[in-house]
Amino acid sequence: MRLSQSLIPTLKETPAEAQIASHRLMLRAGLVRQMASGIYAWLPAGLRVLNKISAIVREEQAAAGAQELLMPTIQSADLWRESGRYEAYGKEMLRITDRHERDLLYGPTNEEMITSIMRESVKSYRELPQNLYHIQWKFRDEVRPRFGVLRGREFLMKDGYGFDLDYAGALLTYKKMMLAYMRTFQRIGITAIPMRADTGQIGGDLSHEFHILAPTGESGVFYDATFEAGDPAAAADVETFYEQMTTIYAATDEKHDLAAWEKIPDERRREGRGIEVGQIFYFGKKYSESMNFTVTGHDGTKIFPEMGSYGIGVSRLAGAIIEARHDEAGIIWPDAIAPFRAAILNLRQGDAATDKICNELHEKLGADCLYDDREERAGAKFAEADLMGHPWQIIAGPRGAANGQVELKRRATGERLELSVADALAKVMS
RNA sequence: CGGGGCGUGGCGCAGCCUGGUAGCGCGCUUGUUUUGGGUACAAGAGGCCCCCGGUUCGAAUCCGGGCGCCCCGACCA
């Protein structure tokens, strides 16, 4: 993609409303624009991030046996009256009336809807277990939206719902989802820690939140340093994995257990701030019972399926990652979800040898690279590339172009290498 | 929902107290210059001063009402 023909409106100065790093950088790097309080438009580069996160989520959900569907954003109030949450949910729910005076709402979550879909079609124990998810925009009318996309009112969430015949099955689904989540976060390139959590509006009795560590996080977190070492998803099987995840200490301030904390050796105690990027719940028959969803068991009796729900804040992740990975110059994207894997900086637009090298690079690297072909000073190009946080920068100028050399810069480390065009390409694509 | 603040070209801000017809920096356009870390000079374009009403000969400025946005706290993927 050529920068000269792209809508990537970077800002030299920080808009006054942005207080925290991720918000400032998302605006400055041209990823998002605010359209109303807590409501954002995702510009082309920002959308690429959302799409890359979603793609990884999809792959890991598929690997865990979950099926993707797509439910609407607008829901009927009647559905929510069945579960009793239409009244219970309060002002966070955006309520809408259509031209026929029917009560609708913009979905803050989808337990009722998925249960309704399942109960229409699933009648036999033979059809369970099933696990379904979608990636869809949600709306929660927060009292005070803030921190850019970290606490928006409209946000993109992956929400999944598991249906099992019994507690054992539901617990296994819960464990599988925890594993899928840890793999997802790992592939995205961040460290997330599962922490025991309250169940809030969703209800139920077993829940974990996944936090990524960042000094500006909204929750205080306490954890055993063991989480920082090794590969959390490397366990031989899901039971071993779950055992490890739930025996090593980790809790948010709400659930912090001083007695357990003090048993951990001093040097392994870690205290910090966390940003919640996902949460999983087991809540049993809460919705199957209230909404009368049953399947017939092999002995002919009716069974209320056991349920759980599984959420990842996709749009929040985009902000949270920046919060965890940036410096004074800008964003430091992990390779897996950077809007562009590499940027080509043409330091002398119009210099024949330089242009030739850049065009060749652009062609070979394809759509996942951004070619800065603008008529700008070198300094401006460097500054903007650092701001946007491309994992790799390929810097081409007349100095090196004469003998076929370019400079390759790694954003995360600042490391630079003088390489031939072919070697630079090989490194970026590996 | 309690407390505080802000709204002036695209962005960051000054002007408001003490009313007299809008200014600075960045960005944008054109030309020259510069050419490896946000270059310099020159000439331009661009503003219902958030909205409505009031006071006044005259309102960005004073008064009343409304809307929007931000920050702190309580609440939340």
Q: What is the pLDDT of residues A297-334, one digit of tens each?
A: 999 999 999 999 999 999 999 999 999 999 989 999 99
Is A315:A137 a contact under the CB 8 Å cutoff?
no
C1’ B22 / CA A9, Å: 28
Give pLDDT, residue A350: 87
Q: Say how far A355 CA is from B70 C1', in Å.
A: 45
pLDDT at A215: 84
Instruction: Report the nearest residue to nucleotide B72, CA vs C1'.
Output: A144
**Share in percent of chain A as helix, strand, coil (round to 5):** 40, 30, 30
CA–C1' A147–B51 (A): 28
pLDDT value at residue A18: 85
Backbone angles phi, psi at A11, to 5 degrees: -120, 135
The per-residue pLDDT for range A192-225, each reduced to its tens digit, is 999 988 766 555 678 999 999 888 888 889 999 9
Q: Which domains does chain A have, with CATH numbers?
A: 3-330 (3.30.930.10), 340-429 (3.40.50.800)
Query: In angstroms, how far is B9 C1' from A11 CA?
Result: 17
Please state, in angstroms and rounded to a whole number, the distance separating the CA atoms of residues A157 and A312. Answer: 6
How far apart are the C-alpha atoms of A22 and A150, rounded to whole Å?
9
- Nucleotide with minimal C1' distance from the CA of A315 is B77
* Residue A346: half-sphere exposure toward Cβ, Cα within 13 Å: 25
User: What pLDDT, on the 0 to 100 scale, is given for residue A16?
Assistant: 82
Whole-number pLDDT of residue A61: 98
Q: Helix, strand or coil for residue A399? A: helix
CB of A371 closer than 8 Å to CB of A379: no
Tally the C-alpha atoms within 13 A of residue A210's C-alpha that lie toward its C-beta: 28
Local structure of residue A292 (DSSP, 8 states)? T
Residues of chain A below pLDDT 50: none
Structure tokens at A405: 């050399």
**Nucleotide nearest the Cα atom of A28 (by C1'):** B11
pLDDT of residue A234: 78
Residue A401 CB contacts under 8 Å (≥ 6 apart), including other chains = A351, A353, A354, A356, A357
User: What pLDDT, on a 0 to 100 scale, did the predictor assign at position A187?
Assistant: 94
User: Residue A204: what pLDDT?
Assistant: 61
Nucleotide nearest to A219 (CA to C1'): B76
Give the max Cα distance, chain A. 81
Q: Which residues contact A181 (CB under 8 A, 6 or more apart)?
A: A60, A192, A194, A210, A278, A280, A310, A312
State the virtual CA torsion across A229, A51, A277, A90 in degrees, nearest 10: -170
Q: B62 C1' – A18 CA distance, angstroms?
A: 32
CA of A352 to C1' of B63 (A): 67
Among candidate residues A260, A135, A129, A239, the one with its CA nearest the CA of residue A196: A260
Give CA–CA dist A373/A218, Å, rounded.
Answer: 40
CB of A28 within 8 A of CB of A14? Answer: yes
Question: A365 and A344 in contact (C-beta within 8 Å)?
Answer: yes
Q: Compute CA A357 distance to the chain's CA centroid, rounded to the nearest angstrom.
A: 36
ipTM of the complex: 0.88
**CA A391, A397, A403: angle at the middle one, nearest 5?**
110
The packing angle between helices A167-188 and A44-63, to 10°, is 140
- For residue A92, which nucleotide's C1' is closest to its Cα? B76
The Cα A44–Cα A194 span in angstroms is: 32
User: In chain B, which nucleotides are within 7 Å of a protein Cβ?
Assistant: 1-2, 6, 11-13, 25-27, 34-39, 68-77
Q: Report yes or no: A410 and A424 within 8 Å, Cβ to Cβ.
A: no
Closest amino acid to nucleotide B11 (CA–C1'): A13
Q: What is the DSSP string of A38-99?
A: TEEEE-HHHHHHHHHHHHHHHHHHHHTT-EE----SEEEHHHHHHHTHHHHTGGGSEEEE-T
Instruction: Could you list the beta-strand ranges (E) of A268-381.
Output: 269-284, 295-296, 302-303, 306-313, 326-327, 330-331, 342-346, 369-372
As a residue count, chain A comes to 430
Q: Look up residue A134 and give its amino acid.
A: H
CB A342 within 8 A of CB A314: no
Helix (H, G, I), strand (E, B) or coil at A20: coil
Q: How far is the CA of A384 from the C1' of B15 (A)?
A: 33
